[in-house]
Amino acid sequence: MHWFPWLKEKLEGQGFAVTAPAMPNTMEPKIKEWLKELARVVGKSDGQTYFVGHSIGCQTILRYLAKGRQVQAGGAVLVAPWFRLINLETEETEKIARPWLETPLDFNKVKRATTKIVGIFSNNDPYVPLINSEILKKKLEAEIIIVPNAGHFNFEDGVSQLPAALNAVLKIVRK
């Protein structure tokens, strides 16, 4: 969906082996289920493992990286990552987001797993205010990229390609 197939194709064209997992229970994502699936898909991660996530997928990646010593990564590109949300449409959506927002995340463990993190945000995301970019930069010393007028980076927002994500992955790999 969205820009994911485009990015997968571009990275594979650069010689990367890319997996875009279908996460379980996407209508009601749960931390434990998503972490278990990501761990299953990744297997053993190392300095040659790179992550790209979008929205709640960023939460999953960060929580995976915070698992401890056994987890290492070459880097992560996080598109519309959030620690605070606005304008959630329904009470049910708020209920789904609440555990992700309220369950602590150990940023120090994330930094031990990788120091190469890029956050990509839009100046008009209806759900992810730019305060999230400040949190990501402060907590993880992440590089921040702002893509103007990209909304929540969905196909509905007109985003079917995301060169900023491709460039960020390639930059991380070259560091």
Residue segments in the chain with a per-residue pLDDT below the cut of 70 = none
What separation in angstroms does the CA of 100 have from each of 38, 39, 109, 156? 16, 18, 17, 24
pLDDT of residue 70: 79
Range of the domain at 105: 4-174
Number of folded domains that form the chain: 1
pLDDT of residue 1: 77
pLDDT of residue 112: 95
pLDDT of residue 10: 98
17-68 pLDDT, tens digit per residue, is 999 999 999 999 999 999 999 999 999 999 999 999 999 999 999 999 999 7
pLDDT of residue 169: 98
Token couple for 147: 């893509």
Picking from 121, 145, 143, the residue whose alpha carbon sits closest to that of residue 75 is 143
pLDDT of residue 68: 75
Q: Decide: 59 and 82 in contact? Cβ < 8 Å.
A: yes
pLDDT of residue 154: 96
Give alpha helix (H) positions in the chain. Answer: 4-13, 31-42, 56-65, 91-102, 107-113, 131-140, 163-174
pLDDT of residue 27: 93
CATH code for the domain in which residue 50 is found: 3.40.50.1820
What pTM, to 2 d.p., does this model score? 0.96
pLDDT of residue 175: 76
